[in-house]
Amino acid sequence: MELGDEAKDNFDRALVDSVSAALDALGPTVKESIFLLLQRRNSISPDQIPKLVGEFVKALQDVLGPTSRVVEKLIIAGLIARKQVPANIAQGRNLLEVVGSVRLSQVSQT
């Protein structure tokens, strides 16, 4: 595995963990319900989120409405806490923009 692959894998794991932690804030029943809805409606399982970030964000908006923005911020905070995203990169950006920025920097480092 190349260094770029390892960084991508670490980021992907951190993203899934951050999503899980953010949804924990809504309570275990709500978290399970959201994951179930994402799977049934959009065929997105938790481990597929890193590959389908755009679809995940859209599905989250469909399920949670305006609350999805709060969950996005919690996910971004989780990525910052896991040292995957510098706070200055994340400031004022949504989840899709943050992930895109990280992916771009991973490509440029390989």
Q: Which two tokens stand for residue 94?
A: 């949504």
Domain residue ranges in the chain: 3-109
DSSP element (H, E) containing 54? helix 53-64
Please state, in angstroms and rounded to a whole number, the distance separating the CA atoms of residues 73 and 25. 12
Q: Which CATH superfamily is domain 3-109 in?
A: Protein of unknown function DUF3227 (1.10.1200.200)
Q: Give the tens place of pLDDT for each residue, 57-107.
A: 999 999 999 999 999 999 999 999 999 999 999 999 999 999 999 988 877
pLDDT at 110: 60
Q: Are 4 and 110 in contact (CB under 8 A)?
A: yes
Q: What is the pTM of this model?
A: 0.91
Residue 11, H or E segment: helix 3-24
d(CA 110, CA 88): 22
